[in-house]
Structure 1
């Protein structure tokens, strides 16, 4: 094993001075002040030897790490952040024939590689613009608590640095599938000419002639929706091309009717560079998630209108309306289920919506199963209300609660997870919302399509809760609360792209307009302290 390259007393003093300054001028982004204490400890613990240099030349590990940094775009990051434009020149300057590299040049090369690798590790683990919504600590393992700790223990001594660095990624199969999609769409975006499809005044239907057929064919072949051998030279929109459009429509959250209408045209004309941006942003948001869980989590993707839980088939969900009632992004633990829950109506819904309905129809409360309660929870009325009671409801001095049952707004199961947003999962008596592609219809809480199946999955480790007992609790007469033996993690996330297990890439509308703001922050090149 090669001996670490030691510095002279002057070299050690120079290295310590650069670290203490928090600035290295030879870096693309010179400031590293937030991490100068850790960086100092990294070199101090190694006796101020160089990590990436032996016999005044970069080590094989150094070259392997530089190759990974230069390919960071393939991980949904930006290689420029890790000095991609500068490494070739740095390496050439250290290998000039007849001119051994100077000690100041070697220590600056070593510092640059350590800092860039640290940044890469942080970005790949926590995200480039982590808003600290979920986690912000470096917790790859119990004995690894900082990026430089990880670098020293896992990378510098690793036989395979690529494998070592990959261990900082989110441990979700969906994440790795997105990485592959980033690489594919990066290539597609570079190849596509970006030609827009011609506009039309009325939708193009199967059997119509359309001047955009050649471009449509090229696009769908490149995206994998149309087999190459099925391409045709005519301008007739028919046959396998219609089937390909239906596949495209399903992948983009549209009704697969095969017609080329305004919504389908908009999706088809979305630049592939924008699709790449969606994939990168979704990868970034996966990095914000807590990386370790004691149990498989329930994951809700808001713009995809889907819930995922272990080996259950994905479920449709209804989420908060884009206007005023957006479902927040957060992480929590599901702690208990309530069968046949009552609904304590939020005051905002009571005053803005239900009071108006009660005023129009005096029998509304009785027909919908509502009780009027005072602030002690005592029953005031369960039938027609007087003008006085209606006024007190309007002013928030009385409260509404809907009795349990099949018509209750929460359905027959409610899934409780403590959070500051008062958001929970629940069933619903209304099936209409699950029959349409865009399902942002609620006041913020999340309605699930099959609460019975989700309840069975959540209670799978409590054998006394058989399928029959769950059904009986839903059909019973009483409200029943069941505490989970072990809480289940719940992650409410926002991603406008995903990749299914079969490799099919799906894209969703940015219903809450988050991609614009977060995309701008993600793509901002300037770094300050980092």
Structure 2
């Protein structure tokens, strides 16, 4: 609080407007508020009853004085908040504004202080902070399979921040990650596309498996029109011939959406054919997921992030990407859990200690059919447990990256390199297979004087398990985003592999 008061003193000396002065608790122009008005207000506005404790904390902190009014009338920031709430749809918030007509009437008046109006503006603020900054409560987010840690938003302290820095009402990277604002731009772009009529479908010819440069087909013109709608092609010339311009546009679209292969295929046509309204819903859902992530994540010196629907891993150092890799994640029956951990050690030439569930469901039935199954697959009993020996044949590959957790999930190499070239890469038993596992190990250990690429290769191929504890712990996040956008609002969309979008959308679209 001392820093806030000091800042107020500086602002006052500089002749700032009244909306910059709200945290000074001893101003002569403050108006006292009778605490009994809060109970009366909530009784008449039951949709705000969940904010009762927030009201108490807010006005107790401000010595039961008005916040939104002083002797000269309504403060400037109240108008800024009102404008922001009126545009709350831009944040993907689809809930109606409670008592909207009442709020509009307040701002239609001359701005003189009334207890009812003061409390209504505080309620409007709580509604805004809950919907735009906090999102649905933690228990509801867990019901959608989200177990990444969530920060609890202190509405009262955040209001203090906004009163000191009103510009944060438009964009605040201390409360929402940057991706939130990128998706907000994308949401506006796709709503504009919808309002302009959206896009038509591509009718891919049944007689062909691929359309490529030089081909002539009505589907080519349809693809060209579709890509022009989202800006991959500057202008639609209507040509049915697959030319260089279309080839470049399709290659860029595939790369951004992490769709493997080349040229125009039935699978790519299906991706392009998803209606714009569904894409809008996907953007809204993923903006909500952004609210659940702490902005502190971006401040991590090191960070490994896996986006399950995108089948991608990104490794960041000092805020900059240093490695990107395709990954394989858990199949539907063995979903990769959305949670976070800290990589603390690596294991080279690992054994695979086979879980009892796999032993019972897969290995024992195979052993019953083939008495030599264990020898063929380089497996052995170790006490009462079954394990697979280290080597090129091992299902974990040549290195694994450990972040101890109750889900028994980790990152690891894989000998089945062909799987990384498949469109559907939800194929594991829950752990995350990393295509560039060797490169990831080299990047993690590049500043460790005990290692170099040659030593790492030797350890990976030694055939003898070796564990190495890191000199620091690296945060790793397994997240679930079916849409992602760049700073210009250009969005990529990924398949909802665990069908979680609709469950979240039901919470948001009530």
Q: TM-score, normalised by structure 2?
A: 0.83
> Would you say the 8 A contact 1:247–1:256 is kept in 2?
no
Tell me the alpha carbon deviations over residues 325-378 of structure 1, each in whole angstroms, 9 at most, x when there is no partner: 111111111121111111111112112222233333333322321112333xxx
Q: Does the CA-based 8 Å contact 2:199-2:229 persist in structure 1?
A: no
Alpha-carbon distance between aligned partners in 1 of 2:95 and 2:194, rounded to the nearest angstrom:
17
Residues 337, 414 of structure 1: 8 Å contact kept:
yes
Unaligned runs of 5+ in 1: 140-145, 376-398, 525-530
Deviations, residues 246-271 of structure 1 (Å, cap 9, x unaligned): 4434444444432352x333222211
Q: Is the 1:128–1:522 contact (alpha carbons within 8 Å) kept by the matching residues of 2? A: no
Match status 1:182 vs 2:198:
no
**Pick aligned residue for 1:151 from 159, 179, 182:** 159
Distance 1:479 1:58 in 2: 70
Q: Is the 8 A contact 1:82 1:119 kept in 2?
A: no
Distance 2:250 2:424 in 1: 19
The alpha-carbon distance between structure 1 residues 462 and 251, as it changes in their structure 2 partners (threshold 3 A), is closer
The equivalent residue for 1:379 is: none
Residue 389 of structure 1: aligned partner: none
Q: Give 1:63's match in structure 2, choosing from 63, 79, 88.
A: 79
> How do 1:120-135 residues align onto structure 2 when only pairs under 5 Å count?
120=131, 122-123=133-134, 130-131=141-142, 133-135=147-149
**What residue is the counterpart of 2:331 in the other structure?**
321
Q: Cα 1:225–1:114, aligned 2, differ >3 Å: closer, same or farther?
A: closer
Q: Is the 8 A contact 1:130 1:136 kept in 2?
A: no
Residues 15 and 165 of structure 1, relative CA distance in 2, 3 Å threshold: farther
SS at match of 1:107: helix
The aligned residue for residue 522 of structure 1 is: 508
Question: Per the alignment, do residues 303 and 84 of structure 1 end up closer, same or farther by CA in structure 2, a change over 3 Å counting?
Answer: farther
Contact (CA 8 Å) 1:6, 1:48: kept in 2 or not?
no
User: Which SS does the other structure have where 1:313 is aligned?
Assistant: strand
The structural deviation recorded for 1:7 is: 4.6
DSSP 3-state at the match of 1:309: strand
Secondary structure in structure 2 of the residue aligned to 1:224: coil
In structure 1, distance between residues paired with 2:493 and 2:226: 16
Contact 2:343/2:401 (8 A) holds in 1: yes
Contact 1:121 1:168 in 2 (8 A): no
1:403 aligns with 2:389: yes
Contact 2:31–2:71, Cα closer than 8 Å, also in 1: no
Alpha-carbon shift at residue 492 of structure 1 (Å): 0.6
Cα distance in structure 2, aligned partners of 1:137 and 1:186 = 30
Give CA deviations for 1:188-237 in whole Å, capped at 9, x if unaligned: 23223444344654347345554465554332112122122xx2234445
Distance 1:221 1:491 in 2: 35
2:379 maps to 1:373: no
Counterpart position of 1:385: none
Counterparts of 1:250-399 in structure 2, within 5 Å, are 250-261=255-266, 263-293=267-297, 294-310=300-316, 311-322=321-332, 324-375=333-384, 399=385
1:133 Cα deviation from its structure 2 partner? 2.2
Match of 2:452 among 458, 466, 483: 466
Q: Alpha carbons of 1:147 and 1:7: their partners in 2 closer, same or farther (altered >3 Å)? A: same
Q: Distance in 2 between matches of 1:252 and 1:160?
A: 33
Which residue in 2 is equivalent to 1:413?
399
Do 1:335 and 1:484's aligned partners in 2 also have CA atoms closer than 8 Å?
yes
**Unpaired stretches in structure 2, ≥5 consecutive residues:** 1-11, 13-17, 19-26
Equivalents in 2 of 1:288, 1:165: separation in Å? 15
Shift of 1:430: 1.4
Q: 1:415 to 1:260 in 2, by over 3 A?
A: closer
Counterpart residue number, 2:38: 16
Please give the per-residue CA displacement for 1:174-197, whole angstroms capped at 9, x wherever unaligned: 444333322322322322344434
Q: Deviations over 1:397-421 (max 9, x none)?
A: xx31111122111111111112221
- 1:191 equivalent to 2:200? Answer no
Following TM superposition, by how much is the alpha carbon of 1:306 offset from its aligned partner in structure 2, in angstroms?
A: 0.3
Post-superposition Cα deviations, 1:465-521, rounded to whole Å, max 9, x if no partner, equal: 333322222122431111122211111111111235786532111111111111211
Q: 1:69 touches 1:120 (CA, 8 Å); kept in 2?
A: no
- Aligned-partner SS, 1:219: helix
